[in-house]
Amino acid sequence: MAIETATERAIFFDTGDFGDAASYTPAGGSASTVNGIFDHAAAEADAGGSVSVIVEQPRFVCATSSLPSAAEGDAIVIKTISYVVRVVFDDGTGTTELFLEKV
């Protein structure tokens, strides 16, 4: 059960505060604007042996109600950069995290 309400989540994802506006296009559908928080983190990955590499881990977190039918393969454009959705993670609290891959 979510602690915050939909109104509180909307404030959190507002573009005037923490959020970014993105253009989301489901496969075979039309684009719509959705607010969320974009994070383009980097992480160290073990490539085997003594060598590590840095991998990009772009993510977009939004209210689940904004993208209730989000699916792998959908497209999203954030800050003029195009991504494809690779993993959709609905955390069950009203928030969905999209793991992205740059196109």
Q: Would residue 64 count as lying in a domain?
A: yes
What Cα–Cα distance (Å) separates residue 31 from each residue in 23, 34, 77? 6, 10, 10
Q: Would residue 70 count as lying in a domain?
A: yes
Supply the pLDDT for residue 10: 83
Q: Provide the domain count of the chain.
A: 1
Q: Would residue 1 count as lying in a domain?
A: no
Q: Would residue 32 count as lying in a domain?
A: yes
DSSP for residue 29: S
Structure tokens at 87: 């993993």
Q: Would residue 45 count as lying in a domain?
A: yes
- Please give the residue range of the domain that contains residue 30: 6-102
Ramachandran angles phi, psi of 10, nearest 5°: -60, -40
Supply the pLDDT for residue 101: 96
Structure tokens at 56: 């990009």
Find the mean pLDDT for residues 27-37: 95
Structure tokens at 84: 């494809």
Q: Would residue 80 count as lying in a domain?
A: yes
Structure tokens at 17: 């505060």
Report the chain's terminal Cα–Cα distance, integer Å. 35
* 46-89 per-position pLDDT tens digit: 888 788 888 889 999 999 999 999 999 999 999 999 999 999 99
Supply the pLDDT for residue 2: 54
Mean pLDDT of the chain: 91
Which CATH number is 75's domain given? 2.40.10
Q: Would residue 18 count as lying in a domain?
A: yes
